[in-house]
Amino acid sequence: YSSAVQKFSQTLQSFQFDFIGDTLTDDEINIAESFKEFAELLQEVELERSMMVQNASDLLIKPLENFRKEQIGFTKERKKKFEKDGEKFYSMLDRHLHLSSKKKESQLQEADLQVDKERHNFFESSLEYVYQIQEVQESKKFSIVEPVLAFLHSLFTYNNLTVELTQDFLPYKQQLQLSLQNTRNHFSSTREELEDLKKRMKEAPLTCKLPGQPTIEGYLYTQEKWALGISWVKYYCQYEKEAKTLRMTPMDQKPGAKQGTLDLTLKSCVRRKTDSIDKRFCFDIETNERSGTITLQALSEANRRLWMEAMDGKEPIYHSPITKQEEMELNEVGFKFVRKCINAVETKGITTEGIYRTVGSNIQVQKLLNAFFDPKCPGDVDLQSSDWDIKTITSSLKFYLRNLSEPVMTYRLHKELVSAAKSENLDYRLGAIHALVYKLPDKNREMLELLIRHLVNICEHSRENLMSPSNMGVIFGPTLMRAQEDTVAAMMNIKFQNIVVEILIEHFAKIYSGPPEDSAAPPVLPPRVTARRHKPITISKRPLRERPVFFGASVGEGEGE
């Protein structure tokens, strides 16, 4: 049923009415749009319905079953192993304690070794068992509640949608029935005129006049990037060399699509390296009308040569990746690099959606870093140039910071910063981080201020770029802070590193207005009675809203319900 409804909806969506004449009546307009309205209604209802049915399995049953099998089941296995090893160890220990002291020294030593071995196995089993219990207890806080929450949201959304749609659809249905009847009446009274018009349309000659002969023309495929992936769209392209104009007419135009012919002015053309893309015969162009590069695919190698020759195309420049650790230092060149990156981002990309979260091309990042940190001419790169897009610049900045020999917030203060972020007292948390910032070496504190000021500016445009202090904390926590040793405990503390960065962004003005009054000693925890703590979210204390009454139910019934 679901599959049939989806196919029917797609058919309605793609169906196009053809009307004769240059103007439609109001009734014809209603009819022309009706199938799209039907399709959207069907898709909306069926999508929600199928999601609700599917969510019962995907969002509720399967996650809970997986948690039971994988986590609880694994814990039970650990328990069995722990009990088995414990029983084995204690029985051996009992036998060992009953050994006579008159036995040979070699026999006693061998018995001691066996007991030590079993004790080690038992201790290892107990540690693994305790660790697994802790992991299950911690993860079930979200692994069990999340599926139920997601399913309930799906259920309520579907029920609410169908009620609203039913109410909206009834007046629409009446109006459309009236339009259908009016149109049927018009058709009956004008049948002869329609026949005559049809005859004249058949006899009318079709003429088509082509413009002046272009330098080169033919089919090219263009790489189009969408939210869910990449597609290649076929265009008929005409290039005029003298004016450097490229006209691109889409060949695979979908019904209802608004995209038409593109008229572009060429700036540059470069052959695409084979190892940088999984398609053959590609080349990149840059135009005045579009930011960034446009990747085109020719029909063959010979065809690509013709296009590149017409467009005065160039060969790509090869770069080797940075491998020397000493190039990533907090020095003068590094400061210059960070300032240039920040300036470029704030000048031409501060409102870019998902800035710093979206990753750039690794090839372009290495190309930029090689050029900027070139020992012969360090820093001689113009990041304002259109050669470098925002994703490349932000990824290069993160790469530089993450690959410093020591993180910006230093190994020495790492444990204290994490400890401060773990405090449940919000005032102490802020005060401790404030004090620790001023314990950083001068150049580290200067770099941190430079970066946090930039992140504050980014977050001020969160409506456009959708990047909040919390988002930035997730991105820059592991970039500005890291433990000296990679351990499980250090990995578990990454979320607190993110909190540190989030606090620095949210309280930037206070922290960088100057050091705390007594920066020599960290703040003391205030008494618990007056502590300001984070309040948990609640829904039970929300103001009650008037409940809507559906399908003619009386007010009394609604209130009783």
Residue 444 is part of a domain; what is its CATH number?
A: 1.10.555.10
390 & 473 share domain = yes
Nearest-angstrom CA–CA distance, 243 and 265:
8
Last residue of a domain, one of 141, 168, 203: 203
193 & 296 share domain = no
Nearest-angstrom CA–CA distance, 82 and 92:
15
Please check whether residue 523 lies inside any domain of the structure: no
Strand 245-250 to 293-297 pairing: unpaired
Q: Is 487 helix (H, G, I), strand (E, B) or coil?
A: coil
Please check whether residue 319 lies inside any domain of the structure: no
Please check whether residue 524 lies inside any domain of the structure: no
Contacts of 295 (CB under 8 A, 6+ apart): 222, 223, 272, 277, 282, 283, 284
237 & 349 share domain = no
293 & 365 share domain = no
145 & 258 share domain = no
Please check whether residue 296 lies inside any domain of the structure: yes
Residue 240, beta-bridge partner list: 245
73 & 188 share domain = yes
Say what the pTM is: 0.45
How many structural domains are present in the chain?
A: 3
DSSP secondary structure of 228-287: TEEEEEEEEEEEETTTTEEEEEESSPPTT-----EEEEEEEEEEPPGGG-SSSSEEEEEE
Please state, as a whole number, how many other Cβ atoms lie within 10 Å of the Cβ of residue 126.
16
Helices 469-480 + 442-459 axis angle, to 10: 150
The answer to whether 169 and 41 are in contact (CB under 8 A) is yes
Last residue of a domain, one of 137, 171, 203: 203
Q: Which CATH number fits the domain that encloses residue 82? A: 1.20.1270.60
114 & 170 share domain = yes
Look at residues 265, 403, 395 and name the one whose alpha carbon lies nearest to residue 322. Answer: 403
245 & 154 share domain = no
Please state, as a whole number, how many other Cβ atoms lie within 10 Å of the Cβ of residue 140.
13
Q: What pLDDT does residue 206 have?
A: 34
DSSP secondary structure of 109-158: HHHHHHHHHHHHHHHHHHHHHHHHHHHHHHHHHHHTHHHHHHHHHHHHHH
DSSP 8-state symbol, 388: S
Last residue of a domain, one of 153, 173, 203: 203
302 & 166 share domain = no
1 & 26 share domain = yes
365 & 418 share domain = yes
Please check whether residue 528 lies inside any domain of the structure: no
Look up the domain containing 244 and give its range.
215-311
Nearest-angstrom CA–CA distance, 169 and 379:
64
153 & 5 share domain = yes
Please state, as a whole number, how many other Cβ atoms lie within 10 Å of the Cβ of residue 519.
14
In order along its 561 residues, the chain shows pLDDT tens digits of: 888 888 898 898 888 888 765 566 677 788 888 888 888 888 878 877 877 787 788 888 888 998 888 888 888 988 998 999 889 889 888 888 887 877 788 888 888 898 898 889 889 989 988 998 888 888 888 888 888 888 888 778 778 777 877 777 788 888 888 878 777 766 655 555 446 545 555 654 333 333 456 788 899 999 887 767 788 889 999 999 888 999 999 987 666 555 688 899 999 898 887 777 888 889 999 999 888 889 999 998 888 988 988 898 887 754 444 444 444 788 888 999 999 999 999 998 899 998 998 888 888 888 888 888 887 777 778 888 888 899 999 999 999 998 898 999 999 999 999 888 888 788 888 999 999 999 999 999 999 999 999 999 999 999 998 888 888 888 898 899 988 876 656 676 778 888 899 999 999 999 998 888 765 445 555 554 455 554 443 333 334 334 333 333 333 444 444
Please check whether residue 188 lies inside any domain of the structure: yes
